[in-house]
Amino acid sequence: MSDELPVAIVRTRAERRRRISLIWAVPLITACVAAWLGWDTLSKRGPLITIRFDSASGLRINQSRIRLRDVELGVVEQLTLSPDHDHVIVTARMTREARPLLTDKAEFWVVKARFFAGSLTGLETLVSGSYIQLESAGDGGKPATDFVGLEDPPVLHSSVPGHTFRLKAPRVGSLNPGSPIFFRDLTVGEVLGWDLGEMANDVTIHAFVRAPYDRYVHEKTNFWNASGASIQLGGNGLRLQLESLRALVLGGIAFETPDKAQDSPVAEGNHEFALYPDRDAADTASYDRTLRFISYFKGSVAGLSAGAPVTLHGLRIGAVTNVALSYDPAADEVKVAVRYDVEPDRIVTLNLPGDDNLDKVMVDLVHRGLRIRLESANLVTGAKQLALDIVAGAPEAAYDKQGDAYVLTPLDAGQGDITAAAGALIARLQSIPFEQIGDNLNKTLSGASGTINDPKLRHAIAALSETLNATQTLMANVNKGADPLLRRLPGIAAELEGTVKHANQLVGSLDDSQGGSQFGRDMNRMLAQLSDAARSVRILADMLSRHPEALIRGRDEQEVR
């Protein structure tokens, strides 16, 4: 064990001042960290921008973010009203990474929960609140810090390889951003949106077709609206056609290239096409040549509308383009002017000439009986169509042409028109005076009822019944007593003849004694009468022996003779 004791070291005050305590390192480090954070914040801090919106729906100060592809590029710092109080000025601090994107081509809009492309997008905004979406136009443009926000999302852009085409249509219909595009029943793209600047005349729809299907879009490809479902009632029954359930809800577009246009060049991006309302209209547009016609109908054309088919022998060769009323001052009457187009290329191997030679052919066809007729297309719906045909023996019609349209004289509906036949039958049925017949029948039944229920008739029937009963009794009695009487008649006749004989003998003796006295003459007359009576009894007996029923019916003149 060591006996050494600890030695105390005594330092002077000067020596104690020269030593620094470690406790002072904490605030020093804190200051360095704060300085570094401040420098980092300032180094990442971008410019301050302003965005003008119609309203600040869903935006919150220091909460609402500005995003691009779900990356935060800024935050809303202030919300104020514009000097005219018509708009909201949003002041936002952007990050340094956002500086190259802030050009005069940048677009801003507020993202909200909405039904888009078949799903509910922006659902997170129900919890976190709305945010501002930034869409950059890429390279180019001048730097800017003041912007005007969009109230609706702009036309989308796809980063998937493919091409975007522009479709012209008179109306959007049921199409939506995200509506599918079909090719041979396959989904090959989607609708990105539409332009609002040219809506005074038509709508330009941006349709994106992804690769490799974009190479099937040629310059003469036909696009048509495939939205909803198509229901047709024809000779094969009820037919339901739809592209897909998604197209039924969101709408859709389909395209196809006609066989004769397969050699046309492949369409480049932003190539412009017409969007037809349905496939029939798209097929019609594939024919290069169209003949225009007009016909004036004097009667009703109910059920005929634009788009109705024009047929030849039951097959479609054209369509009605317009139905309108027209006043004819020469005839002082109102007619229905129906305009329709015919595609002659639908008739195989039919080669019609052009220009003036075509007019000569049309004159010949009209003289040969080329006419148009209104007929029923569907008995259930009442739809009508036009039937073009050459009618032998048709009434003469003058050839005429109005502008570029040929005038065809219409014929009355024929027997082949079911609706016309049904109408004629109904007209005949309506001509029958059912009401008058009903009144007469009611009167007849009423009179018959009064006659049958007349007390006099009932009494007469009762009296007739009694008479028949009495007749039956009489006939029974006659049958019982007639037979003995008939057996006695021949004896009576013989006795009468014997009496006449004796009387004749007596008269002969009296004649000898009395001569021509009055008594003799009276006796002669009595004998003559007795002789007639005996002869009558004999005749009666002979007749009754052969026809005893003569007692009831009377004698038969022919039998007597």
The DSSP bridge pattern shows strands 186-195 and 180-183 to be antiparallel
Q: What is the pLDDT at residue 560? A: 44
Query: DSSP code of 95?
Result: E
Q: What is the pLDDT at residue 56? A: 84
- Which of 346-350, 360-364, 504-508 shows the highest mean pLDDT? 360-364
The predicted model gives 390-399 an average pLDDT of 82
pLDDT at 239 over 60: no
Q: Encoding tokens for residue 469?
A: 């009963």
From residue 398, give the alpha-carbon distance in Å to each of 362, 374, 407.
11, 20, 9
Three-state SS for 558? helix
pLDDT at 85 over 60: yes
Average pLDDT, the chain: 75
Q: What is the pLDDT at residue 261? A: 83
Measured CA to CA, the distance from residue 416 to residue 395 in angstroms comes to 19
Share of the chain above pLDDT 90, in %: 14
Give residue for tokens 């008479």.
Answer: 467
**Is 419 in contact with 413 (CB distance < 8 Å)?**
yes
Per-domain boundaries in the chain: 26-148, 162-285, 291-429, 455-560
Measured CA to CA, the distance from residue 326 to residue 295 in angstroms comes to 11
Q: What is the pLDDT of residues 11-43, one digit of tens each?
A: 555 555 555 566 777 778 888 888 777 776 666
Q: Encoding tokens for residue 387?
A: 């039937």
Q: What share of the chain is helix, strand, coil (3-state, %, to 5)?
A: 35, 30, 35
pLDDT at 541 over 80: no
Helices then strands, each counted (H, E), the chain = 12, 27
Three-class secondary structure assignment of 473-504? HHHHHHHHHHHHHHHHHHHHHHHHHHHHHHHH
**Is 224 in contact with 252 (CB distance < 8 Å)?**
no
Q: What is the pLDDT of residues 207-230, one digit of tens each?
A: 999 999 999 999 999 999 887 655
The predicted model gives 515-539 an average pLDDT of 61
Q: What is the pLDDT at residue 198? A: 58
Q: What is the pLDDT of residues 142-188, one digit of tens each?
A: 888 999 998 777 765 556 788 999 999 888 877 877 788 999 888 89
pLDDT at 194 over 60: yes
Q: What is the pLDDT at residue 57? A: 80
pLDDT category at 328 given cuts 50, 70, 90 is confident
Q: What is the pLDDT at residue 416? A: 44
Tell me whether residue 534 is exposed, middle or buried, using C-beta atoms within 10 angstroms of its C-beta: 0 to 12, 13 to 18, 19 or more: buried
Q: Encoding tokens for residue 135?
A: 């869409």
**Is 304 in contact with 260 (CB distance < 8 Å)?**
no
Q: Kindly report the CA angle at 527 between 526 and 530, in degrees rounded to 5?
A: 90
**Is 254 in contact with 247 (CB distance < 8 Å)?**
no
pLDDT category at 417 given cuts 50, 70, 90 is low
**Is 278 in contact with 225 (CB distance < 8 Å)?**
yes
Q: What is the pLDDT at residue 256? A: 92
Measured CA to CA, the distance from residue 354 to residue 492 in angstroms comes to 123
pLDDT at 474 over 60: no
How many residues are there in the chain?
Answer: 561
Reported pTM: 0.50
- Which of 322-326, 349-353, 514-518 shows the highest mean pLDDT? 322-326
Measured CA to CA, the distance from residue 391 to residue 384 in angstroms comes to 20
pLDDT at 89 over 90: yes
Measured CA to CA, the distance from residue 384 to residue 305 in angstroms comes to 8
pLDDT category at 75 given cuts 50, 70, 90 is very high
Closest CA to 186 of 120, 126, 253: 253
Burial 431-441 (b: 16+ CB within 10 A, else e): eeeeeeeeeee
Say which amino acid occupies 558: Q
Q: What is the pLDDT at residue 287? A: 80
Most distant CA atoms of the chain, gap in Å: 241
Query: DSSP code of 19?
Result: P
pLDDT at 528 over 70: no
**Is 204 in contact with 167 (CB distance < 8 Å)?**
yes
The predicted model gives 267-275 an average pLDDT of 91
Q: Encoding tokens for residue 120?
A: 């509910």
Three-state SS for 371? strand
Measured CA to CA, the distance from residue 134 to residue 109 in angstroms comes to 7
From residue 372, give the alpha-carbon distance in Å to each of 294, 334, 420.
10, 19, 15
